[in-house]
Amino acid sequence: MPVLVTSKGIFGEMFGTATMRALFSDRAMVQRYLDVEAALARAQAGLGIIPAEAASAITAGANAERVDYERLTERTEIVGYPILPVVEQLSEWVEDGLGQYCHWGATTQDIMDTADVLQLRDALDLVAEELNAIGNALAGLAERYADTPMAGRTHLQHALPISFGYKCATWLAAIERHLTRLEELRPRLEVVQFSGAAGTLASLGEHGLPTQQALAKELGLGVPDITWHTIRDGFAETTGFLALALGTIGKIGYDVMLMMQTETGEVLEPFLPGRGASSTMPQKRNPISSEMMLAAAKIVREHHAAMLDAMVQDHERATGQWHVEWHAVPSAFIVASGGLRAAREVIEGLEVRPGAMRQVLNATRGLIVSEAVMMGLAPRLGRQIAHDVVYDCCREALTREISFPDALLAVPQIAEVFTPAEIHKLTDPANYLGAAPAMARNLLRKRSKKKRTAGNS
């Protein structure tokens, strides 16, 4: 078993894309620490707290490529946190004694939390990109197959006919809600953390709050209502958003896997030579990407559970719960990126098979529209009589293994008031899609209008 499947290794990008992993790499993390330190120096120079030449020198020196990572690792293991070791090296690079102005009035968590926010802002951009692409692909499927009949299922059994476009539209609606949630989440998450040792900014006196505001402006972040050192709902909400989004991805993957079963074959994942192949059964075409979608949903959910537990922190500085985030947050984003990428690949290249859908619809020889027949007979026979007659016909069709229309026409009560053509029309699943096509198209119109409005704003 591999030590960590989210690393590149032999699993490649199955459990995380290279782009997302790069955002959470050591160098990217350290660069964000340095970015925050440099922004702090510029903010304080602008307020006259430190010399302007110090801010310029600190900004010029804040380059992660200069870091001695072996030394940083050794010192981090001793100190317990990477910020002091990073500041030690940054201070050495800044000449003319100006290094003393590094990290002025800040505390370790100020730098780490603010750097994490910058990191999550970039990571959420990648998530949004994938969700938008998935939404666009689903919209295309919903539009193309709005009238394509297939079996709707409840409890894994045939229920009533639906359209495949309607099914895709239900998936799309969830993706659209996740994109809305993401926009609503950002202002709560993307705020600076600069509050000093106990959150009171006491070390900077009257310059504390102005520094916080100037730092936020430098980094393009919001100003929090108050210190959030041990109030971690913003980060937990972020992993909660990922868990919700990946829950939908897992649901889509699960549906695709079920529709790919040999007995149905209503859809297939995109074909690639050798993709989903079996080592012993050459005929197999396994739903590999859908399996990854489902697995990612389960894994991200567990990381969010850890984040909920990590919210319960003590007083003004956590005694270990904060450390849980260092593992849970990057892991959640990396695994989520793998699941989202798998979903995008599946949906953009999905092989839809309307013929197979029709064949599956006809598997019960018309029984899937027994409700339609009952409702069609009710005005002429009465609802309860229609229900009982149709119920008996269903049993007869199953017992004698005959078609549902034949069972219906064999009943004198029905044959006297309905022609064979009327019965065949009633038992055609394509004629009993209800509002499914209209629902799909309504959603697409609303989505299109929303995008036009957003584009004009």
Residues labelled catalytic: 155, 278
Residue 122: HSE in the Cβ half-sphere, 13 Å Cα cutoff = 17
Which two structure tokens, joined as six digits, stand for 50? 């430190």
Which two structure tokens, joined as six digits, stand for 149? 């009949």
Q: Enumerate helices (H) and strands (E) in the chain, giving the number of each.
A: 18, 4
- Bridge partners of 196? none
Q: How many residues does the chain have?
A: 457
What span, in angstroms and rounded, lies between the C-alpha atoms of 214 and 201? 14
Q: Which residues of 246-382 form beta strands (DSSP E)?
A: 267-268, 351-352
Is residue 255 within 8 A of residue 306, CB to CB? The reply is no
Residue 44: HSE in the Cβ half-sphere, 13 Å Cα cutoff = 27
Which two structure tokens, joined as six digits, stand for 127? 């998530």
Task: Tell me whether strands 351-352 and 267-268 are parallel, antiparallel or unpaired.
Answer: antiparallel
What span, in angstroms and rounded, lies between the C-alpha atoms of 454 and 457? 5
What span, in angstroms and rounded, lies between the C-alpha atoms of 389 and 103? 83
Is residue 252 within 8 A of residue 347, CB to CB? The reply is yes
Residues whose CB falls within 8 Å of the CB of residue 385, separated by 6 or more in sequence, listed in order = 413
Is residue 67 within 8 A of residue 91, CB to CB? The reply is no
